[in-house]
Structure 1
Amino acid sequence: MSAVVETPQTHDCRVAFAEELIALAEQDPRIVAVCNDSVGSSNLTAFRERFPERLINVGIAEQDMVGVGAGLALSGYVPFVCAAAPFLTGRALEQIKADVAYSQAPVVLCGMSPGLAYGELGPTHHSIEDLAWLRAVAGLGIVVPADPAQTREAVRWAASAAVPVFLRIGRFKVPAVTPPGQSFQFGVAQELRDGDAVTLVATGSMVSRALQAAEILAGEGIGARVVNMATIAPLDEEAVRRAVQQTRGIVTVEEATITGGLGAAVGEINLRQPRPVPMRMLGSPREFAPTGDTAFLLEHFGLTAEGIAAAGRELA
């Protein structure tokens, strides 16, 4: 009789985001939400019901939205500026650069439903370039939580950090991966599993899949280290250096383009080491993704446990 493999419970990180935002707003009257006619998709319905005077809906005007957020921040408020990630980062990139990062306005930019979450709506709604172009903006933190627990902690940190930051809040459901007792620290990676053959560096929705890949490799006698790189900027350089020194190769995994994102950031550090190790970068290539649901697109780009394991196997 074959063993029954239980499917882990999965969660929508937007729910954790909304619940934590309301809890913080109960304690801090400075917290406000700003959105672009995206109350529903940003999961702000309950926030609006609880704090109707503290939700500012500018309509479909993302550049104005970021400018309003910057003005509020510089006036002493703590604005969470929420919109679908492709429109927040694509349409308002100049305002993010000039009004937020250059001005060091402590705005929390919340990119909702990033990556390939809006799969069926096609490349106009896919947000695979956001990590790449935001990495190029000086003075802006980039945080990509991996599960609901880390989402809650990242929201709490962002509310009190008083620095410009982009939070990438995933839409499609993921299992819990944060071990009990491990807390989110800005700029510090979490090592979720040790291994001496290959290091799997993943972010956001891909962390759970990297852990699954490590299980596959363990069954083949290959020890895979798994690193949750929740902060993309500033990147935890020490975690990368340890991977270079202690394992034979690095696989990076991101629900984003590999042109300029997590893989590129890790590669830059790897190449500065005395003895760089081989790398494989998994994500979307520099092309528009086809139209299809999220599961199809992730499989199309090899962003599955099996695809990650295959890349790790090549380097081990």
Structure 2
Amino acid sequence: MDTMRDRLAPVVSRLLDEDPRVAVVLAEIGRDCFTEASRRHPDRVLNVGIREQLLIGAGAGLALAGMRPVVHTFASFLVERPFEQVKLDLGHQDVGAVLVSAAASHDWPAGGFTHMAPGDVALLDTLDGWTVHVPGHPDEAETLLRHAVGAGEAKDDKVYVRLSAQSNGRSLPVDGQRFLTVREGRRGVVVAVGPVLDSVLAATEGLDATVLYATTVRPFDSTALRRATGAAGTDVVLVEPYLAGTSTATVNDALADVPHRVLGLGVGRRELRRYGQLEEHVTAHGLDAATLRERITGFLR
């Protein structure tokens, strides 16, 4: 099966053909995937070199000129390194862009800690007005990319699409807004974000718990959560493929008027200083099915 990132260039290249507003801004990473699109649209496929601050600045400039820029590189270089430009060039200037990341929290361990970004969503949470999509399957990534760019819709909002090498076994009909209920129970709610769904389903097999699937986490679907907790009780477990607890405050806000408990599971703050493999990082952070089952079961008891 192809990866989420494999879908990026074909989808965005088609959008370039369909909508003259769409532009692509790269910082070396991914440039070979857009070779043909660059030949067809040399004025709308830009490579700024290894200059991540300029990457965001160029995207903001295109947005100020009325374009819909799609800006792409690894998450650590897209959100963390040029954060001031994300804050000012996009946020302060009140223009939008579609930031599409790769490498997620630890998808390429051989790249070292410089290529890991478990805090990207939490960092964007310090800014106003961002939509955040976290697809869990390549088909969902394609759907959410198209939704984010909005070809022909004159969209100008700020959207972050977090692509990952991790994937669930099957796609679900995501719409860029709502959580999906994939399992119903009566003794707690587990919210699985993006590519952790398969592990969560394995971890909760046989448990009397509701499982919600979230691929759009900002805005957070508080309505779906409140509906689920009304039927299953107000013990909530969040399983996120990035920094543990990123959405805990959001859940607390959604349930502020009722007594509740929240357990936030995700990537820990401790830096793992050996490269290892992706699966080893998942296990080390307790996001494998066996560890999730132990922690979820203990909490819901």
TM-score (norm 1): 0.86
**Residue number among 131, 134, 139 corresponding to 1:144 in the alignment:** 134
Give the Cα–Cα distance (whole angstroms) in 2 for the partners of residues 89 and 308 of structure 1: 28
Give the Cα–Cα distance (whole angstroms) in 2 for the partners of residues 83 and 119 of structure 1: 16
Give the Cα–Cα distance (whole angstroms) in 2 for the partners of residues 51 and 289 of structure 1: 42
**Residue number among 300, 309, 312 corresponding to 2:284 in the alignment:** 300
Unmatched runs of 5 consecutive residues or more in structure 1: 1-9
Task: Indicate whether 1:201 and 2:185 are aligned.
Answer: no
- Report % sequence identity: 27
Unmatched runs of 5 consecutive residues or more in structure 2: none
**Residue number among 215, 223, 227 corresponding to 1:230 in the alignment:** 215
**Residue number among 204, 220, 236 corresponding to 1:250 in the alignment:** 236
Tell me if structure 1 keeps the 8 A contact 2:13–2:34. no
Give the Cα–Cα distance (whole angstroms) in 1 for the partners of residues 36 and 292 of structure 2: 38
Are the structure 2 counterparts of residues 78 and 286 from structure 1 closer, same or farther at C-alpha, using a change threshold of 3 Å? Answer: same
Give the Cα–Cα distance (whole angstroms) in 2 for the partners of residues 33 and 175 of structure 1: 30
Give the Cα–Cα distance (whole angstroms) in 1 for the partners of residues 280 and 225 of structure 2: 31
1:155-177 deviation digits (Å, cap 9, x = unpaired): 11111232111111112344223
Equivalent pairs counted in the alignment come to: 294
SS at match of 1:136: coil
Tell me if structure 2 keeps the 8 A contact 1:11–1:174. no
Structure 1: 4+ residue segments shifted above 6 A: none
Matches within 5 A, 1:1-316: 10-39=1-30, 43-45=33-35, 47-48=37-38, 50-160=40-150, 161-178=155-172, 182-186=173-177, 188-214=178-204, 217-218=205-206, 222-248=207-233, 249-259=235-245, 261-270=246-255, 272-276=256-260, 278-291=261-274, 292-314=276-298, 315-316=300-301
Stretch moving more, 143-152 or 58-67: 143-152
AA paired with 1:13?
M
Tell me if structure 2 keeps the 8 A contact 1:110–1:166. yes
1:40 offset after TM fit, Å? Answer: 5.2
Backbone CA RMSD of aligned residues: 2.1
Give the Cα–Cα distance (whole angstroms) in 1 for the partners of residues 137 and 66 of structure 2: 30
1:193 offset after TM fit, Å? Answer: 2.1
1:84 offset after TM fit, Å? Answer: 0.3
SS at match of 1:116: coil
Give the Cα–Cα distance (whole angstroms) in 2 for the partners of residues 17 and 97 of structure 1: 25
TM-score (norm 2): 0.90
Are the structure 2 counterparts of residues 286 and 165 from structure 1 closer, same or farther at C-alpha, using a change threshold of 3 Å? Answer: same
Are the structure 2 counterparts of residues 267 and 301 from structure 1 closer, same or farther at C-alpha, using a change threshold of 3 Å? Answer: farther
Corresponding residue for residue 3 of structure 1: none
Give the Cα–Cα distance (whole angstroms) in 1 for the partners of residues 89 and 119 of structure 2: 21
1:299 offset after TM fit, Å? Answer: 0.5
SS at match of 2:113: coil
1:49 offset after TM fit, Å? Answer: 5.3
Tell me if structure 1 keeps the 8 A contact 2:137–2:168. yes
AA paired with 1:301?
H
AA paired with 1:169?
L
